[in-house]
Structure 1
C-alpha cells in the first residue's frame, strides 16, 4: 500500500492510497484510528462520491476509521470493453422500461469476482494502519460485492447492507452469521419487494434487522446512515 496524499481538517485525516493499480481512500480520526469500516460504493459511483465521503464523515465523528476502494471499471480505474457493453445494456433497459435486474445481477457478479480479492489484499494492508475489529457498509452494488466478501472474510464482524436482488446472493447469504442491518425501499421500481425480503430472509445471522422504508429505489432516507453508525457502535465498539 502506497499513500499518495494526506489532508486533515475538523478532526478527520484523509489519505488517498494505491494498492497495486487499485486506488482507495482511508479516513481516520485525528485523535487516532478507531475500528475500521469498509465502504462499498454504488454502481456508477466512485471512492469519493458524496455518499462515501458523507458516510466516512459520520463514522469518523463517532470514532471509527473508514476505507473505500474504486470498484473495477469505476472511478479512476479503466473500463474494459465488457464493462462498456454491460453498462450500455443497463442504460438501454432502463430507458425502455425493461427489467434491469438480470443485467445488474450478472454484471455485478462479475465485478464482485474481481473486487473480493482486491478487498482482501487491501484489508491485509489496512490492518497494519488500523488494527482491531472490522465492519462492512455497502448498498446496491456495495451489497453485490459485500455479500461474497463477507462470506469469504472472517475478519468482518458486522455489516450494513441492502437494496439488491436475491438470486445471485442467496446461497452466500445463507453462509453469513454476523449481525446484519438491511435496508430496502418498499416501493422500489427495480427490485421486487419479495426479492428484497428473500435476500434478507436468507442471512443465517441470529441478529439481523430489516429497515423497510416507503419510497422508490433512490429515496433511501438519509437517517439510515446515522442508524448504520449506531449499528456499528453496538457491534464493533468505539474508542
Structure 2
C-alpha cells in the first residue's frame, strides 16, 4: 500500500519532491480488493500533479492491480522524466536487482546538479 499512500504524499510535496519510486499499483483493481479501497480520482489527480522524475515498477501478472491500470497510472504522471520498469509475475515477486535499481534511481536523481 506504499503507492496508495505515497502518491498523494508525493503530490502534496509539490515542487519540493525531487524524485519518486512508486509501483505495483494502478488505477484499476481486481475483485480481490474491496471496492471501498478504490480512490481512482484521488490517485489520478495526484499522479497528474507530480512533475518530479518518477520510476514506476509494474508487475505484468499483478493479482490486485491489472496491468492496464498500472500503465494508465504511468501515463498520468506529468513528469517529463519518467521510467517504467516491468517484471513478469505477481505482486510479491520482487527480485533483489529490482530493489537495487530503485535505490540507484533515487541516488542518481538526488546526485544531479
TM-score by length of 2: 0.80
Q: Larger radius of gyration, structure 1 or 2?
A: 1
Is 1:165 matched up with 2:26? yes
Distance 1:234 1:147 in 2: 21
Kept in 2: contact 1:182–1:209 (CA 8 A)? yes
The TM-score normalised by the length of structure 1 is 0.39
Alignment correspondent of 1:143:
3
Q: CA RMSD in A?
A: 1.4
Higher helix share: 2
SS of match in other structure, 1:174 = helix
Q: Which has the higher strand share?
A: 1
Unmatched 5+ stretches in structure 2 = 28-39
Alignment counterpart, residue 207 of structure 1, candidates 59, 69, 81: 81
Indicate yes or no: 2:16 matched with 1:155: yes
SS of match in other structure, 2:18: strand
* Contact 2:48–2:77 (CA under 8 A) maintained in structure 1: yes
In the TM superposition, structure 1's runs of 4+ consecutive aligned residues that sit over 2 Å from their partners are none
Q: Distance in 1 between matches of 2:54 and 2:44?
A: 14
C-alpha distance in 1 between matches for 2:64 and 2:7: 19
**Comparing both chains, which one has the higher relative contact order based on Cα–Cα distances under 8 Å and sequence gaps of 6 or more?**
2
